[in-house]
Each structure stands twice: as C-alpha cells, then as structure tokens.
Amino acid sequence: MSYATDEERVEAIKRWWKENGTAVILGLVVGLGGIVGWRLWTGHVDSRAVEASEIYMAMVSAARQGGEIAHNHGTTLMEGYRKTPYAALAALELARLAVERDDLVQAEGRLRWAMEHARTPETAQVARTRLARVLIADDRAQDALKLLEDPVPEGFMAVVEELRGDAYHALNDQARARAAYDRAMLISGGLSDYLQMKRDALNVPAQVGDS
C-alpha cells in the first residue's frame, strides 16, 4: 500500500497495531504473570523465568519513554533468555519501537525472530499478523498474503481476513479485498465500524442483494 509520506506509513502501522494487538499482548502478559505467580507461591519456579519477567517489566516501563534502556533490556532477553516466553514478547516490543523510528527492516527482523522463538501459538500469531502489516506498508502485499496462508487460531481469524483485505487492496484487487473485509465483518459479528469504512471505501460496484 502506498503512502504520501514516511510519517503516514509509520502512523498507519502504529494505529493498526494499537487497534488489533494491545489486548492480545496484555492477555499474554497477564497469563504469564499468573503462571509465574502461581509457581512462586508453590516454590517450583525456574529462577531464569523470574529474572526474565523482571527484565521484561523493566523494558515495558522504559519503552514508554523510548530510548536505549528499553533496547538494551530487549536485547538481553533475546540473547540470554530465549527459552523463556518473555524473549519473544521483547522482540515484539522492539519491533514496535523500530516502527516508531520508521525502521521497517529492523521491525521485520524482530518479528520474524519472535515467530521463530515464540513459546505459545498466540505469541507467534501476534508476530505473524504484525509482520504482515509491516510487509503491506513496505509495498510487499504479495509477501504478506503468502505469510497469511498458514492455519490461523480462531481468535485471530477476523484480524487475518482484514489483513488479506488490506493486501488485496494494495494490489488493486478490489473484489477480493471486499470479500476479505466481508469475511472479517462476519467473523466479528459486524460490530466494527472501522472495517465497514474500509469496505465502503473500495471502488467496487455493489452486488445484487448487498445492503
């Protein structure tokens, strides 16, 4: 998908991630925190997992202000704690920071690393959907479609169909874009005004029976 300026490209990715990824990441963090808390309480926790959780929380706090500290924490997790769930979460956060710097190359690398090293299918899928968005913004919509061919966990189906719609739109295949947006709206129960706006903005003649 083309943008008039680099700033518009970055803002488009940041807006999409905020709308589609925050709740999932929060759920993953809360879930991991609950697991670590339970193991601490029972006295059977891996000390490195505890260390990783502390570093990750410090990273999240530092990332609110940006800067080198958050980057250092993330690199520490990816290099020294890659067998913990927090390493992939750190890669996701580093990818977000890279997008804010308009460094889509580094964002792609971080997201592919997160996909490869994720300890849960949910974390891997978050990385996959965010990578697809980066590829679309980088005028690589066909690569994004190929990335989205793998089986999708049920909770991500609407997001993936939306991304397919965005990719087809970027390729000027408006009929397929509309069909993908329709599927996304159906899966989400038709409750997304944002999806409706995307669908209505397509330059596709209405079919018989469309409302």
DSSP per residue over 87-120, as a string? HHHHHHHHHHHHHHTT-HHHHHHHHHHHHHH-SS
* Spatial distance between the Cα atoms of 71 and 85, rounded to a whole number of angstroms: 17
pLDDT at 42: 42
* Spatial distance between the Cα atoms of 177 and 198, rounded to a whole number of angstroms: 9
pLDDT at 46: 66
Residuewise pLDDT in 10s, the chain (211 residues): 444 455 666 677 666 666 555 545 555 555 555 555 545 444 444 678 888 999 999 998 898 886 789 999 999 999 999 989 999 999 999 999 999 888 999 999 999 999 999 999 999 999 999 999 999 999 999 999 999 998 888 889 999 999 999 999 999 999 999 999 999 999 988 667 888 888 888 865 555 445 4
Comparing CA positions, the residue from 46, 14, 43 lying closest to residue 32 is 46
pLDDT at 18: 60
* Spatial distance between the Cα atoms of 158 and 94, rounded to a whole number of angstroms: 25
Under 8 Å between Cβ of 198 and 163: no
pLDDT at 209: 47
Is the Cα torsion angle 61, 66, 67, 70 positive or negative in sign? Answer: positive
pLDDT at 6: 55
Comparing CA positions, the residue from 142, 11, 29 lying closest to residue 84 is 29
Inter-CA distances, 133 with 18, 22, 46, 145, 152, Å: 12, 15, 35, 10, 16
What number of H helices and E strands is found in the chain? Answer: 11, 0
Q: Residue 33, SS3? A: helix
